[in-house]
Amino acid sequence: MKTTRASASRAKTSPLTRSQTMARVKARNSKPELLVRRMLTDMGYRYRLHRADLPGKPDIAFIGRRKLIFVHGCFWHGHDCRRGAREPKANAAYWRRKIAANRERDQRNCDALGAAGWAVLTVWECALGDRAAMEIRLKDFLSDAASVAGRE
Ligand SMILES: [Zn+2]
Protein backbone atom coordinates (compact mmCIF):
# COMPACT_ATOMS: atom_id res chain seq x y z
CA MET A 1 0.00 0.00 0.00
CA LYS A 2 2.84 2.34 0.86
CA THR A 3 4.56 1.86 -2.50
CA THR A 4 1.35 2.62 -4.42
CA ARG A 5 0.96 5.94 -2.66
CA ALA A 6 4.61 6.85 -3.11
CA SER A 7 4.70 6.14 -6.83
CA ALA A 8 1.40 7.93 -7.36
CA SER A 9 2.71 11.09 -5.73
CA ARG A 10 5.99 10.85 -7.60
CA ALA A 11 4.17 10.59 -10.89
CA LYS A 12 2.27 13.78 -10.14
CA THR A 13 5.27 15.79 -8.97
CA SER A 14 5.80 19.09 -10.75
CA PRO A 15 7.71 22.16 -9.55
CA LEU A 16 4.49 23.60 -8.15
CA THR A 17 3.34 20.51 -6.26
CA ARG A 18 6.85 20.12 -4.90
CA SER A 19 6.76 23.59 -3.41
CA GLN A 20 3.27 22.96 -2.08
CA THR A 21 4.52 19.83 -0.39
CA MET A 22 7.32 21.80 1.22
CA ALA A 23 4.89 24.45 2.37
CA ARG A 24 2.96 21.75 4.16
CA VAL A 25 6.07 20.54 5.91
CA LYS A 26 7.48 23.82 7.18
CA ALA A 27 5.45 26.21 9.30
CA ARG A 28 7.29 29.28 8.15
CA ASN A 29 7.88 28.32 4.58
CA SER A 30 7.25 31.45 2.61
CA LYS A 31 7.19 29.97 -0.86
CA PRO A 32 3.56 30.87 -1.56
CA GLU A 33 4.25 34.39 -0.32
CA LEU A 34 7.34 34.69 -2.51
CA LEU A 35 5.32 33.55 -5.51
CA VAL A 36 2.68 36.23 -4.92
CA ARG A 37 5.36 38.87 -4.41
CA ARG A 38 7.05 37.90 -7.65
CA MET A 39 3.73 38.06 -9.49
CA LEU A 40 3.02 41.53 -8.10
CA THR A 41 6.49 42.75 -9.04
CA ASP A 42 6.08 41.37 -12.56
CA MET A 43 2.76 43.18 -12.78
CA GLY A 44 4.50 46.43 -11.88
CA TYR A 45 3.18 46.94 -8.35
CA ARG A 46 5.29 48.27 -5.52
CA TYR A 47 4.63 47.21 -1.97
CA ARG A 48 5.93 47.02 1.57
CA LEU A 49 6.51 43.84 3.50
CA HIS A 50 5.48 42.67 6.97
CA ARG A 51 4.36 45.96 8.45
CA ALA A 52 4.88 45.41 12.16
CA ASP A 53 2.72 48.44 12.99
CA LEU A 54 -0.43 46.75 11.62
CA PRO A 55 -2.44 43.91 13.22
CA GLY A 56 -1.22 40.53 12.02
CA LYS A 57 1.88 42.03 10.36
CA PRO A 58 0.37 41.80 6.86
CA ASP A 59 2.59 39.99 4.38
CA ILE A 60 2.19 42.59 1.65
CA ALA A 61 1.05 46.17 2.15
CA PHE A 62 0.04 48.86 -0.36
CA ILE A 63 0.12 51.86 1.92
CA GLY A 64 -1.13 54.49 -0.52
CA ARG A 65 -3.98 52.30 -1.73
CA ARG A 66 -4.75 51.23 1.84
CA LYS A 67 -4.81 47.62 0.77
CA LEU A 68 -3.26 44.55 2.34
CA ILE A 69 -2.62 41.00 1.26
CA PHE A 70 -2.14 38.01 3.51
CA VAL A 71 -0.75 34.86 1.92
CA HIS A 72 -1.92 31.91 3.99
CA GLY A 73 -0.78 28.31 3.99
CA CYS A 74 -3.93 26.17 3.91
CA PHE A 75 -2.86 23.82 6.69
CA TRP A 76 -1.57 26.36 9.20
CA HIS A 77 -4.45 28.73 8.77
CA GLY A 78 -7.14 26.06 8.58
CA HIS A 79 -8.46 26.71 5.09
CA ASP A 80 -11.71 25.02 4.12
CA CYS A 81 -10.07 22.92 1.40
CA ARG A 82 -8.58 19.46 1.00
CA ARG A 83 -5.16 20.57 2.14
CA GLY A 84 -6.58 22.52 5.06
CA ALA A 85 -8.53 19.48 6.20
CA ARG A 86 -5.40 17.34 6.47
CA GLU A 87 -5.04 15.67 9.87
CA PRO A 88 -1.50 15.36 11.15
CA LYS A 89 -0.77 11.87 12.43
CA ALA A 90 1.24 13.00 15.43
CA ASN A 91 -0.16 15.35 18.09
CA ALA A 92 -3.43 15.82 16.21
CA ALA A 93 -5.16 17.46 19.19
CA TYR A 94 -2.31 19.93 19.61
CA TRP A 95 -2.40 20.94 15.96
CA ARG A 96 -6.16 21.24 15.93
CA ARG A 97 -5.97 23.69 18.85
CA LYS A 98 -3.11 25.58 17.27
CA ILE A 99 -4.84 25.90 13.90
CA ALA A 100 -8.12 26.94 15.54
CA ALA A 101 -6.17 29.66 17.38
CA ASN A 102 -4.57 30.76 14.10
CA ARG A 103 -7.97 31.04 12.48
CA GLU A 104 -9.35 33.11 15.33
CA ARG A 105 -6.35 35.40 15.28
CA ASP A 106 -6.61 35.82 11.49
CA GLN A 107 -10.26 36.78 11.85
CA ARG A 108 -9.52 39.25 14.66
CA ASN A 109 -6.74 40.87 12.64
CA CYS A 110 -8.92 41.06 9.55
CA ASP A 111 -11.73 42.70 11.54
CA ALA A 112 -9.36 45.21 13.15
CA LEU A 113 -7.82 46.12 9.80
CA GLY A 114 -11.21 46.47 8.15
CA ALA A 115 -12.37 48.72 10.99
CA ALA A 116 -9.27 50.87 10.44
CA GLY A 117 -10.18 51.32 6.78
CA TRP A 118 -7.90 48.75 5.18
CA ALA A 119 -9.10 46.49 2.40
CA VAL A 120 -7.79 42.99 3.00
CA LEU A 121 -7.28 40.17 0.52
CA THR A 122 -6.45 36.69 1.75
CA VAL A 123 -4.60 34.65 -0.84
CA TRP A 124 -4.72 30.92 -0.11
CA GLU A 125 -1.86 28.67 -1.03
CA CYS A 126 -4.22 26.29 -2.87
CA ALA A 127 -5.35 29.10 -5.20
CA LEU A 128 -1.84 29.69 -6.52
CA GLY A 129 -1.95 26.75 -8.91
CA ASP A 130 -3.97 28.83 -11.38
CA ARG A 131 -1.59 31.69 -11.98
CA ALA A 132 -3.68 33.43 -14.62
CA ALA A 133 -6.73 33.50 -12.36
CA MET A 134 -4.62 34.76 -9.47
CA GLU A 135 -3.25 37.61 -11.61
CA ILE A 136 -6.76 38.73 -12.46
CA ARG A 137 -7.73 38.54 -8.81
CA LEU A 138 -4.74 40.59 -7.69
CA LYS A 139 -5.30 43.18 -10.39
CA ASP A 140 -8.97 43.39 -9.50
CA PHE A 141 -8.22 43.81 -5.81
CA LEU A 142 -5.60 46.48 -6.41
CA SER A 143 -7.57 48.51 -8.93
CA ASP A 144 -8.80 51.85 -7.62
CA ALA A 145 -12.44 50.85 -7.97
CA ALA A 146 -12.20 47.78 -5.77
CA SER A 147 -12.28 48.19 -2.02
CA VAL A 148 -13.90 45.01 -0.83
CA ALA A 149 -12.66 43.92 2.57
CA GLY A 150 -12.21 40.40 3.83
CA ARG A 151 -12.61 38.60 0.55
CA GLU A 152 -12.06 34.87 0.59
ZN1 LIG B 1 -6.70 25.90 0.61
Residues less than 5 Å from ion ligand 1, measured at CB: 74, 79, 81, 84, 124, 126
User: In CATH, what number does 2-142 get?
Assistant: 3.40.960.10
3-state secondary structure 8-55: HHHHHCCHHHHHHHHHHHCCCCCHHHHHHHHHHHHCCCCCEECCCCCC
Q: Supply the Cα-derived Rg of the chain in whole angstroms.
A: 17
Cα 142 to chain centroid distance, Å, stands at 17
pLDDT at position 23, please? 43
Q: State the distance from the centre of ligand 1 to the C-alpha of 64, rounded, in angstroms.
A: 29
Q: What is the pLDDT of residue 145?
A: 63
Quick: pLDDT tens for 41-85.
999 999 999 888 999 999 999 999 999 999 999 999 999 999 888
Instruction: For 105-149, write each residue's pLDDT tens digit.
Output: 999 999 999 999 999 999 999 999 999 999 999 999 999 765 444
Domain ranges of the chain: 2-142
Which one-letter amino acid corresponds to residue 103? Answer: R
Give the Å distance between the CA of 52 and the centre of ligand 1.
25
Q: What is the pLDDT of residue 40?
A: 97
- 152 vs 68, more confident: 68
Instruction: Work out the average pLDDT over 85-89.
Output: 82
pTM over the 0.85 mark: no
pLDDT, mean of residues 96-105? 94
60-to-15, 16, 52, 101 alpha-carbon distances in Å: 24, 21, 11, 22
Residue 12 has a pLDDT of: 45
pLDDT confidence bin for 24, thresholds 50/70/90: very low
